[in-house]
Amino acid sequence: MKKIFLILFTIVITISCSKSNNDNNYPNIPVVNINFDLNLNLPSANDLRVPNGTYIDYNHGYNGIAIVNNVRYYSAWELTCPDHNAATPCSKLVQKKKNDIYVYCQCKDKHNGQEAQFSLITGQSMTPGLKYVQLKPYPVYESNGALRIRY
């Protein structure tokens, strides 16, 4: 009886601890492989040297990547509105001014005529009605004065 219980327990634990697929949380954003390195000593990365500083790169990710200095760590986010089909041109998130900690979705038709606003600090939507919508995060590794984003 103990053997049967142990076998069943092992099977249940194995199934419940399977690798979760975070991409299921973002059905509107296609999965893309990212292999991006950013040298923090480059002039283009100057804004990341200060707290809440941001760096935008539209050449990686699906519609781009935003990186923010969260004081003790760096965060990276996909620049596609998670509330829209990524192929829609207006779903590309943009900053309204350089080094802003907010990005905006230009698809006003789905947000009661306004641009949806997302925080680059938390990834959370700041728009009423999108309270539980979050930007797609990417893992950031810091090493020897460089940031690495692998996905």
> Residue 17 falls within a domain, yes or no?
no
Would you say residue 102 lies in a domain? yes
Is 20 contained in some domain? no
Tens of pLDDT, residue by residue over 90-148, are 999 999 999 999 999 999 887 788 899 999 999 999 998 888 899 999 999 999 999 99
Q: Provide the residue range defining the domain that includes 105.
A: 26-150
Assign residue 104 the CATH number of its domain.
Answer: 2.102.10.10
In a domain, 16, yes or no: no
- Is residue 50 a part of any domain in this protein? yes
pLDDT at 60 (0 to 100): 97
Q: What is the reported pLDDT for 17? A: 45
Per the structure, the count of domains in the chain is 1
pTM of the model: 0.82
DSSP codes, 135-150:
PPEE-EEEETTEEEEE
Residue 10 within a domain: no
Residue 3's pLDDT is: 60
Q: DSSP for 38-78?
A: EETTSGGGGGGGSTT-EEEETTSSSS-EEEEE-SSSEEEEE
**pLDDT single digits (tens) 13-23:** 444 444 444 55
* 72 found inside a domain: yes
Cα torsion angle, 8, 14, 16, 17, sign: positive
